[in-house]
Amino acid sequence: MKKLLITGLLAFVYACAAYKGVPSALTDRPEWKTLPLPATPQQLDGDPEAGLAFLIYGNYLGTGLPWRIVEKRFTKKVNDTLWQRNGPNAHAPYLMNVFEAANGVPVLNGNCFTCHAGAIQGQLIPGLGNSFSDYRRSFKPLADMTALGVSLRFGKRSPEWEAFEDFGRYFRKMSPHIRTGQPGANPAFRLAEACMMHRNAGDLSYSKEPLYDISPYPVATDVPPLWNVKKKNALYYDGIGRGDFTKLIFQASVLGITDSTAARQAVTGFKDVLAWLHALEPPKYPREIDPASAAQGRLIFEAKCSRCHGTYGDNPSYPNKVVSLDVVKTDPVYVNYIHQSGITQWYNSSWFAQSEPRSWFEPLPGYIAPPLDGLWATAPYLHNGSVPTLEALLNSPTRPLRWQRSGDSNDYDWENVGWKYTDAKKAKKKGWVYDTTLPGYGNQGHTFGDDLSREERKALIEYLKTL
């Protein structure tokens, strides 16, 4: 009995700590049902090949870890099946770039494919979100050690320190904020918040004091596939990213870029990146599809799903709708969080919004109904990645409360489309368990498939494999 009481008390204390700072629901939510987002002018004259080269060789992160300090660890050629790069990059893993900082010192830093390449059956797919990342451990000790290591090895007056300093600063400032309580969830929004709050809005230079507060609650999301960008009028799960996409995407550089002078140079490369994004195609479903069943599924889709997700095939259309929380009813925490973040005001007064071409943040009270191209590959589903398979997404009572997957990209479930999982009710706390009872990670809502019969759902899934 006593043991039970203590366990109960501990669970309560743990729950209170975990819930600390969960953003409150929006009280003055504007009416927003199914309004389409308007298109804004984009710079579409880039070169896709140059865009990919920029992403995998480019200096958009500005600063990084001096290559000399890590070079020895990478002396063997890595088996980089994704890019087969040349020069020093032939020795770096696919998710890192070796490039020259402004003063000519070669440095190493993570590239976009840290988060934007995912594996299925051992094969990396560029543009697919990496749903296997794990930000539950703290990066703070690593950030502190790295700074100490560079200063001891080269001294703080060296060109190496100069090529490292900005990355070192932002890495240390942001690392306490990107820790999550959920495996697979990606804290990119928190990373941006934590870096930008230490940048002066006008010239993006470093500010030791934070310029706005950051919530203590570690919200995080799934990573969306990049081949859908070409259909979208606004970026990010809630459509907050508006205006010029090159500036929005360039934001990912806030971790290392020195200031707005460096930003102005690097952002031009993102015109080509945008062209690469427009050329990026979703992967084709690699197994057989039953054409009769898929044809039946298409009719169901067009009757029940197209008004939000658009049409596919010969006559594609995409309505670009942000669907109100009142309608989609999926976990509201991310939307609430973003509405209460200081980042919007900062962003809209910053270089990003105040110099041409402008981009800006406009938080909305709902989630974008995303394009469903390449859907078969993008499990887990919903903005928070809380649902492991399409079958479970379209039959909400069967969604698992706590689920565990092996971590092996061969464990794909071709029948239910998504990741094989085991119900982790009794799983040990350690290990990879997605817990939908944590705030922000709930699997509720989007019940639009619930009233289908088994056969109808099967046909619909067969059709969804063709997208």
| Minimum distance, C-beta of residue 113 to ligand HEC, in the bound complex (Å) | 8
How many C-beta atoms lie closer than 10 Å to residue 207's C-beta? Answer: 12
Rg (CA), the chain: 22
Of 163, 188, 280, 438, which one interacts with ligand HEC (CB under 6 A)? 188
Tokens at 306, concatenated: 């197209």
Q: Which of 435/462 has CB closer to ligand HEC? A: 462
| Cα separation values, 6 from 1, 93, 333, Å | 9, 47, 30
Report d(CA 221, CA 378) in Å as an integer.
Answer: 13
Q: Which residue has the tokens 């015109």?
A: 271
Structure tokens belonging to residue 113: 């494919």
The two structure tokens encoding residue 145: 């050690």
Tell me the site size for ligand HEC, rule CB under 6 A: 47
Residues 448-467 that bind ligand HEC (CB under 6 A): 448-449, 460
Binding mask of the shown chain, residues 374 to 413, with x at each position contacting ligand HEC by CB under 6 A: -x--x--xxx---------xx-------------------
Should residue 186 be labelled a site residue for ligand HEC when binding is judged by CB under 6 A?
Answer: yes
CB atoms within 10 A of CB 361: 21
Give the Cβ contact number of residue 127 at 10 Å.
23
CA distance 86 to 309: 41
Rounded to the nearest angstrom, the gap between the alpha carbon of residue 273 and the centroid of all alpha carbons in its chain is: 17
Binding mask 199-228 for ligand HEC (x = CB under 6 A): ----------------------x-xx-x-x
Q: How many Å separate Cα 312 from the centre of its chain?
A: 25
User: Binding ligand HEC by CB under 6 A: which of 96, 294, 327, 377?
Assistant: 327
Number of Cα atoms under 13 Å in the Cβ half of residue 163: 24
Q: Which of 70, 105, 196, 369 binds ligand HEC (CB under 6 A)?
A: 369
Q: Pick between residue 60 and residue 161 the one whose CB is nearest to ligand HEC.
A: 60
Q: Does 330 bind ligand HEC (CB under 6 A)?
A: yes
The two structure tokens encoding residue 327: 């309608």
| Binding of residue 310 to ligand HEC (CB under 6 A) | no
| Site map 136..175 versus ligand HEC, x via CB under 6 A | ----------------------------------------
Q: Which residues bind ligand HEC (CB under 6 A)?
A: 60, 110, 112, 114-116, 186, 188-189, 191, 221, 223-224, 226, 228-229, 232, 235-237, 249, 252, 273, 304-305, 307-309, 323, 327-328, 330, 367, 369-370, 372, 375, 378, 381-383, 393-394, 446, 448-449, 460
